[in-house]
Amino acid sequence: MKKYLVLGILFILPITVYIFFAMSTNYFKPLPILTESVQELDGFKTLEGEPVQLKGRITVLGFFGSDLEVHRAYAYNLAHKIYTKNHSFNEFQFVILLPEGTEDQARNVSEKLEQIAPLDSWFFAFGSKENIHNVFNSLQSNLSLDSNLSTPFVFIVDKEGSLRGRKEDEEVGVMYGFDSSIIAEINNKMSDDVKVLLAEYRRALKKYDVDREI
């Protein structure tokens, strides 16, 4: 009896596991699009004077305003909980928009962030107040910037320039951005959503490679 039981388990278990993963593949849910066509980052320059853009990159987009020191802890939260885990993904980046004239503050914070991880995919980008407002407003969220052009909320923008988020979050309903001042929200909700979006593009790339081989 034991012999047949063991044989049955050995036969049924692989089939069960296969069906489970097959169902997971078929019912994979992408991260919802909340806003299409977020404004491109025209006119913004990095600390190195280079342009930066959303198109073609998965972007965590932040607005930390004219007093970056106030948001230093938020930047560290994001670096530890999100950036270090994902910056090696070729098309993933962090872009923090700041008003022109805050370059020295950004350099100081960058020195600290480099102790956490290489900043090859983390950019502080500088532009006019008008451009910052225009990009933020194009998100069409239910959030707002303060008088310093800042917010602790950060946003996930996909390669096509669309804002991704949650349509039915159990706590806030439609979730446009993630509060970087709340570690639990960054460590749980945002981390999960970034994983989902990266997995979405990895799956698309694998499918493309298979189709090319066919």
* Pair of tokens at residue 137: 């407003």
Q: How many CB atoms lie within 10 A of CB 119?
A: 17
How far, in Å, CA of 13 to CA of 163, rounded? 41
What's the full length of the chain, in residues? 214
Residue 52 main-chain phi, psi, to 5 deg: -135, 145
pTM for the predicted model, two decimal places: 0.83
Q: Report DSSP state, residue 189.
A: I
User: Of 135, 51, 129, 62, nearest to 94 (Cα)?
Assistant: 62
Measure Cα distances from 97 to 93, 112, 123, 147, 184 in Å: 13, 18, 8, 15, 24
CA distance 13 to 162: 41
d(CA 92, CA 112): 21
SS3 (DSSP) at 91? coil
Task: Check residue 119 and give its pLDDT.
Answer: 95
pLDDT at position 154 is 98
At residue 10, the pLDDT reads: 55
3-state secondary structure of 103: helix
Q: Which residue matches tokens 């596991």?
A: 17
CA max distance for the chain: 79
Measured CA to CA in angstroms, residue 119 lies from 54, 79, 94 at distances of 17, 10, 9
Parallel, antiparallel, or unpaired: how do β-strands 166-169 and 163-164 relate?
A: unpaired
- The DSSP code sequence of 133-164 is HHHHHHT--S----TTSEEEEEEEE-TTS-EE
Alpha-carbon span 64 to 148, nearest angstrom: 8
- Per-residue tens of pLDDT for the chain, all 214 residues: 555 555 555 556 555 544 444 444 444 588 999 999 999 999 999 999 999 999 999 999 999 999 998 999 999 999 999 999 999 888 999 999 999 999 999 999 999 999 999 999 999 999 999 999 999 999 999 999 999 999 999 999 999 999 999 999 999 999 999 999 999 999 999 999 999 999 998 886 665 444 444 4
Question: Quick one: tokens of 151?
Answer: 């917010």
Output the pLDDT for position 206: 61
Q: Report pLDDT for 55.
A: 95
Which pLDDT value is given to residue 3?
A: 54
